[in-house]
Amino acid sequence: MKKILSFLAVLALLTALCVPALAAEPELDNVTDAASLLSDQEWAALESKAEALSAQYECGVYIITLDDFTDYVNTNDVNEAAKAIYRAYSLGWGAEKSGVLLMLSMAERDYSLIAYGYGNTAFTDYGKDQLAKRFLDNFGEDDWYGGFSDYLNKCGSMLSTAREGHPLDVDSSPQIRLVGILISLALGCLAAMALCCVLCLRMKSVAKKEEADSYVQRESVQFIVREDHFTHASQTRTMVENSSGGGGGGGTTVDSDGFSSKSGKF
């Protein structure tokens, strides 16, 4: 049953991407496991939960797994691929097409987390970071069901608080809020002390001179040796967090196409 569903999902994806304009209603289940990561029972449990969340909060909650997103979309950007699929299948709730989609591409172990419509309100940049933290540890251990369950649970709590008018954001956590205030105070004090020290230095104008720069006859300076020898090269590799958005002051960074997104490796 699961295999058949997976095959149909792949077929549907390929077909729909060819005729995106025809789609008006969501044409995919909330959970589409084209990479066959889940058992039938797991899929059913997740699908039912995602459907319930979508209906309860009027915001579509989706999961898509693919073997390789480049098979479906002509782009190397996993976020752009997720957006293309979201649009092609007319995903999202209601006229606003509100929703949140977690897409996994197994070839390079890429993930993309995108939101649209009300999803942008409920899933802020900070919220997406928190959401990603929930599932990445599971995915790192190939615990797909655990990761998706955590994703849905966190989506539920985030949609709940968002509907109450308090979407999860930087200032949502009392601990972070407190530390943020303390850091702001510390930064303020440090900047003030630095400026005061600079002003204090202006009170001192007496110091011994250690150089005789003013007394060099510029025309007398002659170089007889100028040698620059390359000796060796060294390399450092630094992991780059592949995430878009990330506005430090909170809120959601929305692209010109109306999506907000976050991506990375798992």
Partner 1 sequence: MPTQITDYKCPACTAPLRFDSNTEMLKCDYCGESYSTAKIEALYAEKEKAAEAAFSREEKKARKTLPVSEDEDEGGDWDLSSLSGDWGAEAEGMRAYSCPSCGAELITDETTAATACPYCGNNTIIPGQFDGALKPDYILPFRLDKEAAKQALKNHYRKKPFLPRAFSSANHLEELKGIYVPFWLFDADAQADCHFHATRSHSRREGDYRITTTEHFQVRRAGSMRFQNVPTDASTKMPDDYMDSIEPFDYRDLKPFSTAYLPGYLADKYDVSAEESTQRANKRCRATAIEVMRRDVLGYETVSPEGCHVRLQGGKVHYALMPVWTLRTKWQGKDYLFMMNGQTGKMVGDLPVSYGKFWGTFAALSVLFSALALWSGVGQWLAAVFMA
The contact set with partner 1 (CB under 8 A) reads 126, 129-130, 133, 170-171, 173, 175-177, 179-185, 187-189, 191-193, 195-196, 199-200, 202-217, 220-240, 242, 248-250, 264-265
Q: What token pair was written down for 172?
A: 């949502």
3 or 204, CB closer to partner 1? 204
List C-alpha distances in Å: 60 to 132, 200, 246: 18, 60, 23
CB neighbour list of residue 81: distance below 8 Å, 6 or more residues apart: 69, 70, 72, 73, 75, 103, 105, 112
236 or 256, CB closer to partner 1? 236
**Beta-strand pair 60-66/31-33:** parallel
171 or 255, CB closer to partner 1? 171
**Three-state DSSP class for residue 207:** coil
Q: What token pair was written down for 133?
A: 């933290």
What is the closest distance, in whole angstroms, from the C-beta atom of residue 37 to partner 1 in the complex?
22
What is the closest distance, in whole angstroms, from the C-beta atom of residue 34 to partner 1 in the complex?
24
22 or 192, CB closer to partner 1? 192
What is the closest distance, in whole angstroms, from the C-beta atom of residue 200 to partner 1 in the complex?
6
48 or 76, CB closer to partner 1? 76
What is the closest distance, in whole angstroms, from the C-beta atom of residue 29 to partner 1 in the complex?
31
What is the closest distance, in whole angstroms, from the C-beta atom of residue 255 to partner 1 in the complex?
20
74 or 220, CB closer to partner 1? 220
What is the closest distance, in whole angstroms, from the C-beta atom of residue 32 to partner 1 in the complex?
26
**Cβ density class 236-255: b for 16+ within 10 Å, e for less:** eeeeeeebbbeeeeebbbbe
CB-based burial label for 233 (10 Å; 0-12, 13-18, 19+): exposed
Q: What token pair was written down for 197?
A: 């020290």
